[in-house]
Structure 1
Amino acid sequence: MSPVVVDVADVPSADSLDALARVLEMIRRGEARTRPELIQATGLGRAVVSQRVDQLTALGLIGEGSLGRSTGGRAPRTLDFRADAGLLLVAELGATGLSAGLADLSGELLRCQEQPLDIADGPEECLALVESLFDELLRTAPPNVPVWGIGIGIPGPVEFATGHPIAPPIMPGWDSYPVRERLSARFQVPTWVDNEVNLMALGELRAGLARGVANVIYVKIGTGIGAGIVSGGKLHRGAQGCAGDIGHVEITEGESIVCRCGNTGCLEALAGGGAISRDGEAAARDGRSSQLAEILQRNGKIVSADVSDAARRGDPVSFELLARAGRLVGEVLATLVNFFNPSLVLLGGGVTASGDLLLASVREHVYRRSLPLATRELRLTRSPLDRRAGMTGAAHMVTDELFGLSTLPLWIKRGTPSGMPELADASSDYGVAS
């Protein structure tokens, strides 16, 4: 699809851009589908809504659909967001794996690929693999549909305003690396970077169990442990973008264990996937678990999935390791539940695939250690999106920024943000994403 060129006179003034953005947002999220619904939902006048709809139609961002329901009189036409007007490249980098995908402007994943990855290999090697997967995905993309933006999640603290990782504990060589600048230059589109768990929370907020829920905590238990926070229906990143980093909360019973961040007794050093693997291998070597010893002899190492499998086969040591991890996560999470009072807690990440044991242990200790009022209507369950939550969130991160009031005026006259990598530098307030 070629860029749409619209006469400047047809584009609203700065004073009217707010109305344009509101109308587009209502249609994009399906909150209003007809002109009468838009008038009622936005409080804008009939003439203003009509003008904005005409402008968005001329820009190729919305189109008319089927007839809606009549409320007395002629049935109105529905208005559909043109999700096929552009494409998004998205990727989620974990400690040990990479997921990459192609999405439309509604955030729907069209194609996905997964590959093993070691984040400790550094940014040059890891991002070269991301670029290779993106190139492969683009070869299968619909013809003549431009890429509008890129969204990336990484397993460490990110300064959202710049897209730079800041002192990420498990990512040697990544500190202050210009991830955004590299990918923007390579593909000539705006790029946004965030912590992977924030994107998982955003993905659930838009397309999963958290849709329509105002206050949510998403906890990823993988090699590391982190949390994404949704407050008042918006993703809460904090002042610099590192809210929710619960993996480095101190656990007093583990003071002697040094975390990869350099401190001792961190939650992820005691209950993350790496900790479960470490403790499982120790149990195999000292003879406490014959099942784990057999796995170690066969494979040369123990991973957290081996501990989960052994627990399901009745190994008491593996059972205890998972129960302990669940207890420690649950105790930290109980503090968050008392402090934040969410109505939904979602668990995701590779370790949560271990079955019901870990979930049951987390749930038991959250309910035991939290105030009755804080848990009276609390749901605590696994993420239904899980492996796709991060990529889905990455797609929505990009569209939130592209259609935000800080960015929309910069490209709306062209009809497309493709070819404008500098847009990411002018994106909206990084404290929240609506």
Structure 2
Amino acid sequence: MRTADPLHLQLLRLLRDNGPVSRAELADQLQIPRPRLLSELERLVATGFVTEAGMAASRGGRRSTLVELNPNLRFAAVDLGASSVDVEITNGRLEPVAAYTEAADIRQGPKVILHRINELLAKARVEGVHDRLDAIGIGVPGPVSYRDGVPVSPPIMPGWDRFPVRELLTREHGCPAVVDNDVNIMAIGERHGGVAHSVDDFLFVKLGTGVGCGIYLSGEVYRGIDGCAGDIGHIQVDPQGPMCTCGNVGCLEALFSGAALGKEAAVAARAGTSPALAERLTQRSELTARDVAECAMEGDVTCIRLIRDGGRRLGGVLAGLVSFANPSMIVIGGGLAHLGHILLAEIRSVVYRRSLPLATGNLPVVLSELGARAGVTGAAVLASNVAFEQAS
């Protein structure tokens, strides 16, 4: 396999992140001789990834020409959750030019779900959003072999084990594709354009149907040898707890996740301990974490307790991770982030109380800045990276 040119990658990522830049400024930023830079840029222009963008402001003497990523570059970013799919088409600067969101049941299996994703990408082409895609990035809600581009024994994704997701997307669209765990792409998105933009060592905790943790160390995602690093939802927090989807008992995910909170809300409603939840249950067949959040905001004591109990359990797991990895930030995202400051306060309380002062003295625990867009943002970053690697 051909090794990507590190200088080409640097150039393309600089243009992606900074927009049009003069040749003189690029030479200064990369600290390379201008003749070499001009030679490298010529090669990238020949690939179609870089174009000229007019004249730069004068710095005294002859004006330099601006260069930029080809404005016709198109990347597809897919964030596949347990019950929804978000698709964005972006330009080379990772600015969205089209977006599609719809419900999707991951349990329908890879053929049904990927067929629908292909239909959405084809719809974008028919609508004139792109003539062709330059790369695709996709996140899925389960462990992934990043090297092979396949999910591996994902607990909530029946039928997906070892399914060739990357190979299918590459063949279908004639462009490189990359597959990662959904929480990893959220961490990458938050690092690229969110609250962790300037942070090299942080944890991104996704709270949704499941619970996962993206781990950033020294400016890179840490995936582990087999791609399952950060699967904190299956850390045991109660040996006497309920059965988890993974087959073990008392996992964090079985006690605090979107599904677990919905079950606890239904129990509270039927037991009469929460009149607000009981009233909602008479109007629909099931309750969700959003019901708990809304009732808590209205002052329902039982709902506040449910959120605090979950925050305490999650905080205990995170306290252990803080002692182990000593991150400089913890970011909370995913669908359950709407539980808001009741949840955040409980997590902070436990983490700060149970971790050593040296590890928490400068440790912000914050909500995701990108929110629902963290996943597609990270998928677009991965797509652009794999496209740049092939271009160089």
Partner of 1:58: 46
Mapping of 1:93-104 within 5 angstroms? 93-104=80-91
User: Are residues 1:34 and 2:19 paired?
Assistant: no
Partner of 2:114: 127
Within 2, Cα distance between the matches of 1:328 and 1:16? Answer: 44
Residue deviations 1:110-158, cap 9 Å, x none?
2111111221222222222222222222222346x42112111110001
With normalisation by structure 2, the TM-score equals 0.93
With normalisation by structure 1, the TM-score equals 0.85
CA contact (8 A) 2:44 2:391 kept: no
Residue in structure 2 matching 1:78, options 58, 66, 73: 66
Residue deviations 1:251-271, cap 9 Å, x none?
03x523110000111111111
CA shift, 1:69, in A, is: 5.3
Residue in structure 2 matching 1:113, options 100, 105, 110: 100
AA in 1 matched with 2:79: E
Residue in structure 1 matching 2:164, options 174, 178, 183: 178
Task: Assess, with a 3 A threshold, how the Cα gap between structure 1 residues 291 and 114 changes in structure 2: closer, same or farther.
Answer: same
Within 2, Cα distance between the matches of 1:141 and 1:342? Answer: 44
Within 2, Cα distance between the matches of 1:102 and 1:31? Answer: 18
Task: Assess, with a 3 A threshold, how the Cα gap between structure 1 residues 374 and 135 changes in structure 2: closer, same or farther.
Answer: same
CA contact (8 A) 1:179 1:193 kept: yes
Identity of aligned residues (%): 38
CA contact (8 A) 1:222 1:350 kept: yes
Aligned to 2:21, the other structure's residue is in SS state: coil
Aligned to 2:249, the other structure's residue is in SS state: coil
Partner of 1:330: 315
Name which of structure 1's ranges 353-362 and 61-70 shifts more when overlaid on structure 2: 61-70
CA contact (8 A) 1:164 1:177 kept: yes
Within 1, Cα distance between the matches of 2:105 and 2:114? Answer: 11
Residue in structure 1 matching 2:302, options 303, 317, 328: 317
Within 1, Cα distance between the matches of 2:3 and 2:377? Answer: 32
Aligned to 2:28, the other structure's residue is in SS state: helix
Residue deviations 1:190-232, cap 9 Å, x none?
2211111000011111111221211121111001100111111
Across the aligned residues of Structure 1 and Structure 2, the Cα RMSD in angstroms comes to 2.1
Aligned to 1:212, the other structure's residue is in SS state: coil
Partner of 2:262: 277
Aligned to 1:260, the other structure's residue is in SS state: coil
CA shift, 1:78, in A, is: 3.1
CA shift, 1:71, in A, is: 4.8
Name which of structure 1's ranges 215-224 and 306-315 shifts more when overlaid on structure 2: 306-315
User: Are residues 1:48 and 2:36 paired?
Assistant: yes
CA shift, 1:281, in A, is: 0.8
Residue in structure 2 matching 1:243, options 218, 223, 229: 229
CA contact (8 A) 1:212 1:233 kept: no
